Structure 1
Amino acid sequence: MVTLGYNHADWILRYWINGYTSFSTSQKEQIHLEVDNYLRWHRKNALPGYIAFLQDVDATVNRESGMTVADVMRLRAESGRLYQLTMEPMIRPAAHILSTLDRDQITELAYTLAERSRKQRQKMLDGSDQEMLNDRAERHVELVEKMVGNLSSAQEKAITEMSLHIPFASRAYIEQREAKQASLIALLRDKAGEDRIAALFRQWLVTPETSRTPQQQQAIAAYENAMNEMTVRIAATLTTRQKQHLSEEIASYIDDFRKLNSKVETASIK
């Protein structure tokens, strides 16, 4: 499934990008070119890092002494580094395309962003506080089960209880993203230019905390710290079979990434 999705990523990315506003023919041609360039770069430069990260995760989960909060923090930091590595090459091409939008295209883009935000608010923030916590707990159980296989009723109950006591930060994340989007639309309407748009994207990518209010930063930090603790506690409850299942899932991803990366190396030799 990873290979299938990756082999169609050019079409998927173009479809996703074109869904934001009505690009002109020349803009679509530029998007097509940039997507192709990006995917070639990604196969060659990003996939090896993903493989090393997954190997690190597997070794940490299966270590005899068990996983610690320091381990989770280290893996989180490496995940963030890989995210920056993955997104950085998109910044300048995206800024260039966005700097060419006319007034009608900007208006359509603002509407699209607002609609997507409204739908996410409806999905993530609909209902009472307890209902939102219950929904999040269900998602946590589903995520763990997807990674390690079937959970026992005791494990499901334990994960649910842990999740229910973790601070709720979805509102802070959504509010921060909406503020970022408003800043972007303001720059586009002011015809700020490619450099300022790229600088805004780079700030979001490298130092996202600087765009948070003190309240948002406090909520997100509390959530992430609690998730670190929860991850360690869940790892401690995994059975040998569940760890094996996780290792098999990781091995499958690694195998797919290696095959995709090898295609680039083979093509380079030819």
Structure 2
Amino acid sequence: MPLRLIKTLLTFLAIALVLGACSRIDLAYRNLDRLVPWSLGDYLAMNRQQKSLLDERLKEHLAWHCKTQLPGYLDWLDRIRLMVANDAVTDQALQQRTDEARQAIGRVAEEITPSATELLRGMNDSQVAEMRQAFRDDIAERHKEYVDTPLAKQVEQRATRMQKRLEPWLGELNAQQRLRVMSWSQALGDQNRQWIANRAHWQQQLVLVMDQRATPSFEPRLAQLLQRKESLWTPEYKAAFQNTEQQARSLLVDLMKQSSPQQKTLLQQRLGKVRTDFSELKCLKG
């Protein structure tokens, strides 16, 4: 439930860094309070009281987020744009931007933890059982889609997905860039397996915590799951995640070096539009 909100906000935080393809970020942000409940339907059916509480808390958290966090995101986007304008997209600079985004996500997690505690503590046994089954179905579906596929096909599909994400921001990739995207995908190897295994591990930990929701240990354990999830990662996933981040930074550095003036201009325009969309949100203006 709160995890979905964190992930959605993370999408906005990382949109410039990972060059996602969303063209109406402002529209999605304005409707987060409507979008999040729909996504929760994949995991559990809430009763009327729970829906009302979720709706109330989402509005409160989004108001807090817009007033106190978005101004910092505008500055963050400005730093991204300056990097591109100055041909200063380096591994070190990207690592700094990633750390800043991670800190922002941490603030969101801390803000919503009390609401998450109240919402999840109020779930009944039937809802917890429903969540447990939904998690099993989620892992089975992802395993079928991302792991059962032969590795060579996984690499090809991953490269295709990345190319589709990049092209709205850079335009059509040239031959050198397409080769670089493929080499990036190959370097990630069998990371899908570790990603899904770690996802299953986190979900299992949440289910165990839910079994303790009537005890004093519930809130601190849930806080760890939401705010310090890295502390619960499997050793294999920690290594895979570090490699994934390193490979992503390397990819972006190389793509910028290989970009034409037209591609850099398009990227600046798109980043500028993202900033404008955020800066013109009514909640930010007052």
Q: CA deviation at 1:206?
A: 4.1
Q: Which runs of 4+ in 1 moved over 6 A?
A: none
Compute the displacement of 1:123 (Å). 2.4
> What residue number does 1:200 align with?
221
Instruction: Identify unmatched segments of 5+ residues in structure 2.
Output: 1-23
Q: Decide which of 47, 50, 54 is 1:24's aligned counterpart.
A: 47
**Inter-partner Cα distance in structure 1 for 2:213 and 2:104:** 32
- Tell me which residue corresponds to 2:72: 49
CA deviations on 1:56-82 (whole Å, 9 max, x unpaired) are 111112214x32211121111112112
Measured against aligned partners, the alpha-carbon deviations of 1:229-249 in whole angstroms (never above 9, x if no partner) come to: 222111111111111111111
Aligned-CA RMSD value: 2.0
Q: Identify if the C-alpha distance between structure 1 residues 214 and 263 changes in structure 2 by more than 3 Å, giving closer, same or farther.
A: closer
Q: CA deviation at 1:256?
A: 1.0
Q: Work out the CA distance in 2 between the residues paired with 1:123 and 1:79.
A: 29
2:132 aligned with 1:110, yes or no?
Answer: yes
Of 141, 145, 149 in structure 2, the residue corresponding to residue 123 of structure 1 is: 145
**Residue 18 (structure 1) shift:** 4.3
Aligned to 1:189: 211
2:36 matched to 1:39? no
Larger radius of gyration: 1
Query: Which has the larger displacement, 80-89 or 70-79?
Result: 80-89
Partner of 1:135: 157
1:226 equivalent in alignment to 2:247? yes
- Pairwise CA distance, 1:145: 1.4
Q: Name the residue aligned to 1:148.
A: 170
Distance 1:198 1:256 in 2: 36
In 1, the alpha carbon distance for the partners of 2:58 and 2:129 equals: 24
Consecutive unaligned residues of structure 1, counting only runs of 5 or more, are none
2:146, 2:154 within 8 Å by CA — same for their partners in 1?
yes
| TM-score with structure 2 setting the length | 0.84
Residue 15 of structure 1: aligned partner: 38
One-letter code of the match for 1:217?
Answer: K
Question: SS state of the match for residue 140, structure 2?
Answer: helix
Q: Provide the TM-score with structure 1 as the length reference.
A: 0.88
C-alpha distance in 2 between matches for 1:103 and 1:205: 21
